[in-house]
Structure 1
Amino acid sequence: MSNALTLGVSHVGLTVSTLSKTVSFFESVGFRKAGGVDDYPSVFLSDGSTLITVWQAKSPEPVEFDRTTNVGLHHLAIKVSSLDALNKAYDIVRGIGGVRIEFGPQPIAGLPLTHFMCCEPCGVRIEFTHHA
């Protein structure tokens, strides 16, 4: 039994350069709008188990995160239900304009996981994983 005071991740918040592009990216893999704040501006997205909040950067020229030099979110990993779902997500994501594919579906050496990595249109690294 754990002595942790926490219960897991409540939600993840991401600041993006173009709110509509990031919202479309997540909607393409099954997330749906669950609210937002127009004045902020932000959109809340959910797939039924994960809540992601995306905010529009106020800077006209936001600086893209570099995972090798910046402190911050390295990537967001999203779990899928099956290898078929992973491959379907990959096919969808690679068809979205502005998405950079880092690598296609492949196993992680020594672990019962298969994954792929991409950057959504605003540059946030997203990993999709299937846990065998």
Structure 2
Amino acid sequence: MSTLGIDHLGLTTANLPATRDFFRDVLGWRETGSDPGYPMIVMTDGHARLTLWARRGNGAFDRHANAGLHHLCLAMQSEEALGAAYARAQAMAGVEPEFAPEPNKNGPAIHTMLREPGGCRIELRYTPPKDTA
């Protein structure tokens, strides 16, 4: 293979400050860079890196009609961390939950899907480690 994984993922958002606040306040990510003239903000959780871009214009992304990112799925450390992040997301203005944490299909993974204030669909998912005993 010639690739080493994803260096970063770029998300275009309708509300750059609100999307930054979602990643920072709901998920605990930190800002590592920005360019107000572009405008863009770089965020990380220490493992993954996202570049958040301000959308120009007002055309909405339709996940059924447009090519592009359907959603971003983030792995959570535990079921408790997933529940706590969901509670913080519900308390944040502009977040639109699609469904509360529930088993993904027949489990054992638990997940939730929501739209952050800038309009991007985010899945939060916890998959318990496989029992190796």
Please indicate, yes or no, whether the TM-score normalized by the shorter chain is above 0.5: yes
Q: 1:27 is matched with which residue: 24, 27, 31?
A: 24
Give 3-state SS (helix, strand or coil) of 1:78's partner.
strand
Q: 2:50 is matched with which residue: 49, 52, 67?
A: 52
Whole-Å separation in 1 of the counterparts to 2:105 and 2:15? 35
Could you list the runs of 4 or more consecutive aligned residues of structure 1 that deviate by over 2 angstroms after TM superposition?
A: none
Q: 2:110 is matched with which residue: 97, 102, 114?
A: 114
Q: TM-score, normalised by structure 1?
A: 0.91
Q: Which amino acid aligns with 1:58?
A: R
Whole-Å separation in 2 of the counterparts to 1:36 and 1:115? 30
Question: Can you list the C-alpha shifts for 1:18-40, whole angstroms capped at 9, x where unaligned?
Answer: 21111111111101100011210
Q: How does 1:27-106 map to 2 (within 5 A)?
A: 27-28=24-25, 29-59=27-57, 62-106=58-102
User: For structure 1, which runs of at least 5 residues remain unmatched after alignment?
Assistant: none
RMSD: 1.1
Question: Can you list the C-alpha shifts for 1:71-117, whole angstroms capped at 9, x where unaligned?
Answer: 11000001110000000010011111111000010111244311000
* 1:130 alignment counterpart: 126
Higher mean C-alpha displacement, 105-114 vs 72-81:
105-114
Whole-Å separation in 1 of the counterparts to 2:89 and 2:83? 10
1:6 matched to 2:10? no
Give 3-state SS (helix, strand or coil) of 1:64's partner.
coil
User: For structure 2, which runs of at least 5 residues remain unmatched after alignment?
Assistant: 129-133
Whole-Å separation in 2 of the counterparts to 1:124 and 1:78? 13
Give 1:58 shift: 2.4
Give 3-state SS (helix, strand or coil) of 2:86's partner.
helix
Whole-Å separation in 2 of the counterparts to 1:129 and 1:26? 15
Whole-Å separation in 2 of the counterparts to 1:109 and 1:25? 27
